[in-house]
Amino acid sequence: MKTKKINGANYKILFSEEMIAEKIKELAAMIKGDYATAEKSPILLIVLTGGMVFGVDLIKELDRIGLVHHVDTVGLKRYGKDEHGGAVKILSEPHADLTGRDVIVVEDVIDHGITMNFLDDYLKNSNPPASITYCALGLKRNHAPLQFEVKYLGFNDLSPAWIVGYGLDSEQAFRGLQDIWVKIDP
């Protein structure tokens, strides 16, 4: 088992770069199947900062398979220097007018669900889109009740252990790791 020290803790590979790439292809094919004949192209709303790597690879795959789409971002923050989240803060709002549009929210991993429930309320109460669909690379098993369905899901039932790499961070570092690593220290 290959391990790595990250901020003083031991981690092992949870998902390899190849496994992630395969999931992205599957998710993109599902999205294309649902939106290929839509009147308007969907807007992929990438949740920053964690969702940026996944979001970029997903939009590149959607381009490769020929689905026209638009891209925007929303900046949210719940975690600080530790692994215990606080109140959700909006760091940057979407630039596009989402009113009446089909929006696909692109998130890295839904941990507790608090941030995504907050975003769901925010989107429904600001400029309400015609539809809001959720796409996540991963969903942890101990999340709070979600007020939405994750229609496009890569990896389900992840352990609650801290994970890093592929956009996920430890104190704003290690986002560039190609694989996703899981903390194995208690």
Is position 61 within any domain? Answer: yes
Please tell me the distance from the alpha carbon of residue 51 to that of residue 18, in angstroms, as a whole number: 18
Domain that residue 121 falls in: 42-79+98-186
Identify which of 93, 182, 185, 105 has the alpha carbon closest to the alpha carbon of residue 146: 105
pLDDT above 60: residue 113: yes
What is residue 186's predicted lDDT score, i.e. its pLDDT? 62
Catalytic annotation, pick one of 57, 102, 108, 111: 111
Among the residue ranges 83-92, 119-128, 146-155, the one predicted with the least confidence is 83-92
Is position 72 within any domain? Answer: yes
Q: Which long-range CB contacts under 8 A does 112-116 form with residues at least 24 apart?
A: 112/85, 112/140, 112/142, 112/143, 112/144, 113/143, 113/144, 113/145, 113/146, 114/78, 114/85, 114/88, 114/144, 115/47, 115/76, 115/78, 115/85, 115/88, 116/47, 116/146, 116/148
**Section 31-44 average pLDDT:** 96
Is position 170 within any domain? Answer: yes
Look-up of token digits 């290929």 = 36
If pLDDT is split at 50, 70 and 90, which confidence band does 79 have? low
pLDDT above 70: residue 185: yes
Is position 85 within any domain? Answer: no
Indicate the number of domains in the chain.
1
Is position 35 within any domain? Answer: no
Is position 91 within any domain? Answer: no
Is position 84 within any domain? Answer: no
If pLDDT is split at 50, 70 and 90, which confidence band does 156 have? very high
111 is catalytic: yes
What is residue 118's predicted lDDT score, i.e. its pLDDT? 95
Mean pLDDT of the chain: 92
What is residue 173's predicted lDDT score, i.e. its pLDDT? 87
Q: How far apart are the first and last CA of the chain?
A: 17
What's the pTM? 0.92
Which residue type, as a one-letter code, is found at position 147?
A: Q
> What CATH number should be reported for the domain holding residue 183?
3.40.50.2020
pLDDT above 60: residue 64: yes
Sign of the alpha-carbon torsion through 15, 176, 173, 8? positive
**Coil, strand or helix: which one is 95?**
coil
